[in-house]
Homo-oligomer: A and B are copies of this chain.
Amino acid sequence: MAKVVWDTDVSSLTRVRDEVDAVLEDFVSAREQEAPGPEMAPLFATARRLLLSNGKRLRSLLCVVGWRAAGAPGDHHAVLRVAAALELFQTFALVHDDVMDDSDVRRGGPSAHRTLAAEYTRAGGQRGRAEVHGRAAAVLLGDLLLVWSDTMLADAGLGGRAQARVLPLVDSMRTELVYGQYLDLLSTGRISQDVAAALRVARYKTGKYTVERPLHLGVCLADGGPQLLRMCTDFAIPLGEAFQLRDDLLGVFGDPAQTGKPVGDDIREGKATVLLALAFQSAPRAERRLLRALFGSTNLSGEDIGRVRSILETTGAREGVETMISSRRDATLAALEAADLPPDVTHMLRQIVWMATERIV
């Protein structure tokens, strides 16, 4: 295949997204052809909707840009497949995360277990079993997506040497996610003022996995050197944290139409976020008591959410998190300037920085 040179204009990111989507669509269609029967249709429909419903494709973009930063050798067949494997992995993580947190909504529609429960009922499933069925089926769907992400990698046509560079990174990324999720589970339901602990969870659960690992994967695929990898780390670590901090804010103050998640899920699920730790640190006694009462409560009213928001504002926690995001974004942009990468790569990374920290583009 001829080497494809991408445009360096703003449409590049959109183009990468479209190409990754096409790879995913082809892959799922091929898997569906091999499936044992029409009974599998709900699994495939749910997989397709979650995989292809306008994700940001942040990890794909970072992987492709990392590969370009290292010189983009060869055609882009392999890098698009490595990127698509990251999206399959991310969707696996979301499906299991929603089962674990019992979340109703994902990417603006029902979560996988809710979809599969509804489908079971629609198809005449046994009364009273729908919820249990939905949960079990979503565990299986997550398993399938995890297996697929691996199949996608195996079919990426990496040679033996590229494999030896890429697979250990994939392995680290996967285990880090599981460890981070477990740390998250252990801290769930315990309100705390420990900002450092909340940051540690965020780093494992999201930080490295969302920014550093995808960038490194792209760089290693293109056989980039240790200096470039170090530069990517300097860029990625603060960006990953900023991404997670923005997520904390959007979870409480975001527009559900934009985030695709209902407001207040973190409070409802009792997630020990940095935002909440900051608020709890400096809240007066009565507000602390209120936070403690609402934290982890499954039936929060709109009024309750309003009260929590107000505490997050008056304690300065919201502003504090915004400041933490800004300082991390500054560190990321400074690392980017210092790196002296080709202008088109720098341009794309700068777009990604704003996308990850402000959720624009």
Interface residues, chain A, with chain B CB atoms under 8 Å away: 31, 34-36, 39-40, 43, 96, 99-102, 120, 125-126, 129, 132-133, 135-137, 139-140, 142-144, 146-147, 150-151, 154, 159-160, 167, 171, 174-176, 178-179, 181-183, 185-186, 188-190, 204, 296
Q: A167-B154, A190-B126 are in contact. Are A140 and B185 (CB under 8 A)?
A: yes
* Chain B residues whose C-beta falls within 8 Å of the C-beta of A146 in the assembled complex: 143, 146-147
Q: What B residues does A129 contact at CB under 8 A?
A: 188-189
Set of chain B residues within 8 Å of A125, measured between Cβ atoms: 186, 189
Most chain B beta carbons < 10 A, residue from A34, A99, A181, A182? A182
Query: Closest residue of chain B to A99, judged by CB?
Result: B139
* Contacts A36-B183, A185-B133, A189-B129; A143 near B100 (Cβ below 8 A): no
Q: How far is it, in angstroms, between the C-alpha of A132 and the C-alpha of B154 when the chains are bound?
A: 35
Q: Which residues of B contact A159 (CB under 8 A)?
A: 160
Given known A-B contacts A126-B190, A136-B100, A40 and B179 have beta carbons under 8 A apart: yes
For A92, the closest partner residue in chain B by CB is B143
Residue pair B189, A139 in contact (C-beta under 8 Å): no
19 contacts between A and B (CB under 8 A): A31-B175, A34-B175, A35-B179, A40-B182, A43-B182, A99-B139, A101-B136, A126-B189, A126-B190, A129-B189, A137-B185, A139-B139, A140-B178, A140-B182, A143-B143, A144-B175, A146-B146, A150-B150, A160-B160
- Kindly list chain B residues whose C-beta atoms are within 8 Å of the C-beta of A179: 35-36, 40
Contact B178 A143 (CB under 8 A): yes
| A147 and B133 form a contact (CB under 8 A) | no
Shortest distance in angstroms between A37's beta carbon and chain B's nearest beta carbon? 8
Instruction: Report chain B residues within 8 Å CB of A137.
Output: 182, 185
Contact A96-B185, Cβ < 8 Å, known A35-B179, A179-B35: no
